[in-house]
Amino acid sequence: MKIMKFGGTSVGRPERMAQVAQLITADNEPKIVVLSALSGTTNALVEISNALAAYKRDEAKQLIDKLEAHYHAFVKDLVKQDASVAKATAIVHEHFEFLNIILKISFSDALNKDILAQGELLSTKLFCVFLAEIGIDHALLPALEFMSIDMNDEPQVPVISAKLKDALAQHAGKSLFITQGYICRNARGEVDNLKRGGSDYSASLIAAAVQASVCEIWTDIDGMHNNDPRVCKKTVPVEQLSFEEAAELAYFGAKILHPASIWPAQHYNVPVKLLNTMEPAAKGTLIVEEAGSTGVKAVAAKDGIYAINIRSSRMLLAYGFLRKIFEVFEKYRTSIDMITTSEVAVSVTIDNATHLAEILKELEPFGTVEVEDNQTIVSVVGNEIAETKDVLMKLFDSLKDIPVRMVSYGGSRHNVSLLLPSAHKTTTLQALNSGLFGLE
């Protein structure tokens, strides 16, 4: 069985949905097709939710009406036969009626998750109406019946696998399944989600759960590029990445993949392919356990980082100091991305400031604590990069004019990470694009 995931742009227009229908019927292998919401929908739903949370009901109503009009126009171009138009229109009505009812209920976090789920529910149901109209046999697998997260908001593949097998067993004889990315149920049984961009994670979890032959992530670009194409003029696709390399790029900001989307595929050894819906013949990127070449492959950047520096002469010659510091972060379930130490100071970075105030308070007894916000981690990733001749020289040569705040080198054999003020991100990525890759 194979998994094919299509992102927002890939399903964002009626003619794109037609193209997706072609791609998923190009071979006879049984498949589960994972769809995102139409591009722009989840952002619109976030806006609706925010307006409701701020008691701006009129604004929320206007946003709901605008989104509904978009869907009616979409349906008009998607299906032609009267019966399909009626069916698709009824689906749009059903989901917008739900949003209109929500306008009258007091806002809560659970309700917010219900609102955010509407995008994927709509896209998959409309796509199924379209498939039925053009005579493609299929079944809709509701993700809320099998995709789940535990008490720590973590998905567990064996649990998902068991539920998914039950769901598949209800459709004997079918070989094409459509399901929602992003949405899931939490430990309380409520509708929840796998965070923004989470459809990639859904696809990888499903691929792991059914031991798929491949997990294809179809998007609007021909694979993982060597640098952020939104920042650098000329970037090129990387042909192969190891799971480790891809996981680091995703975690450190390459938006093409959700940060957690590689581990399920890696753990269950399912190859991942990044492919372009608009250019299906392009090679894309293949992600497997052992990627062929060594050396620098790509650069990614992650914003919104906080650097915390703890300075204390008591650290000198003391043991157990780092453990005590780490325990504070552990207590507040805040993960550390980068760390550097000297005899009298330790610097760490975090990307989640939810418990920053409490963390700082508990760190105070250990020494002088300073925080800097608006930092960016730039990661240079490539197999055995640490041992590749000249990489460090070229790297630091490119960064002559950048106020680099921390460097992490050696922790992983395929990653060198730098911390710098976010204001220098663009110049840094561009300097590395020419310095490491010889590209403009």
Task: State which residue, 202 or 408, has the beta carbon closest to ligand ASP.
Answer: 202
Judged by CB under 6 A, the stretch of 36-44, 224-232, 242-250, 263-271 that binds ligand ASP is 36-44
* CB-nearer residue toward ligand ADP: 146 or 201: 201
Q: Which does 225 bind (CB under 5 to 8 A by kind): ligand ASP, Mg ion, ligand ADP, none?
A: ligand ADP
Is residue 146 close enough to count as binding ligand ASP by CB under 6 A?
A: no
Candidate residues 8, 284, 367, 421; the one interacting with ligand ASP per rule CB under 6 A: 8
Q: List the interface residues with ligand ASP, window 154-183 (CB under 6 A).
A: 181-182
235 binds ligand ASP (CB under 6 A): no
Residue carrying structure tokens 């379930």: 333
Q: Considering only residues 192-231, where is the footprint of Mg ion by CB under 5 A? A: 197
User: Which residues share a beta bridge with 155?
Assistant: 149
Do the beta carbons of residue 273 and residue 287 sit within 8 Å? yes
d(CA 4, CA 12) in angstroms, rounded, equals 16
Q: How far apart are the first and last CA of the chain?
A: 41
Q: How far is the CB of 164 from ligand ADP (least distance, A)?
A: 22
Helices 57-78 & 82-102, crossing angle to 10 degrees?
Answer: 170
Cα(101)–Cα(105) distance, integer angstroms:
7
Select the residue interacting with ligand ASP from 9, 10, 36, 240 (CB under 6 A).
Answer: 36
Phi, psi (rounded to 5 degrees) for 179:
-145, 165
Asked if residue 361 binds ligand ASP (CB under 6 A), the reply is no
36 binds ligand ADP (CB under 6 A): yes
Does position 120 bind ligand ADP by CB under 6 A? Answer: no
- Using CB under 6 A as the binding rule, whether residue 7 contacts ligand ASP is answered as yes
Among 7, 119, 367, 421, binds ligand ADP (CB under 6 A): 7
Asked if 37 interacts with ligand ASP (CB under 6 A), we say: yes
What is the rounded distance in angstroms from the CA atom of residue 407 to the CA atom of residue 267?
29
Least distance between ligand ADP and beta carbon 271 (Å): 18
Does residue 45 touch ligand ADP according to CB under 6 A?
no
Among 114, 228, 248, 362, binds ligand ADP (CB under 6 A): 228
How far apart (Å, rounded) are the C-alpha atoms in residues 422 and 351? 13
Alpha-carbon distance values, 335 to 208, 305, 350, 356 (Å): 25, 12, 6, 12
C-alpha 394/C-alpha 326 separation (Å) is 34
- The whole-angstrom separation of Cα 37 and Cα 21 is 16
* Binding status of residue 244 toward ligand ADP by CB under 6 A: no
- Contact flag: residue 148 with ligand ADP (CB under 6 A): no
Of residues 7 and 264, the one with the C-beta less far from Mg ion: 7
Residue 198 near ligand ASP by CB under 6 A: yes
Q: What's the min distance (Å) between Cβ of 147 and ligand ASP?
A: 13
Range in contact with Mg ion (rule: CB under 5 A) among 7-15, 18-26, 186-194, 267-275:
7-15
Site for ligand ASP in 96-135 (CB under 6 A): 119
Is residue 181 a contact residue for ligand ADP (CB under 6 A)?
no
Q: What is the Cα Rg of the chain in Å?
A: 24
Q: Which does 130 bind (CB under 5 to 8 A by kind): ligand ASP, Mg ion, ligand ADP, none?
A: none
Q: By CB under 6 A, how many residues form the interface with ligand ASP?
A: 12
| 268 near ligand ASP (CB under 6 A) | no
Residues 206-225 within binding reach of ligand ADP (CB under 6 A): 219-221, 224-225
Indicate the residue whose CB is closest to ligand ADP. 7
- Shortest gap between Cβ of 40 and ligand ADP (angstroms)? 10
Angle between helix axes 109-133 and 14-24 (nearest 10 degrees) is: 70
Residues that bind ligand ASP (CB under 6 A): 7-8, 36-37, 42, 119, 181-182, 196-199
Give me the residues that bind ligand ADP (CB under 6 A), please.
7-10, 36, 197, 219-221, 224-225, 228-230, 254-256, 298, 300
Question: Which residues lie near Mg ion (CB under 5 A)?
Answer: 7, 197
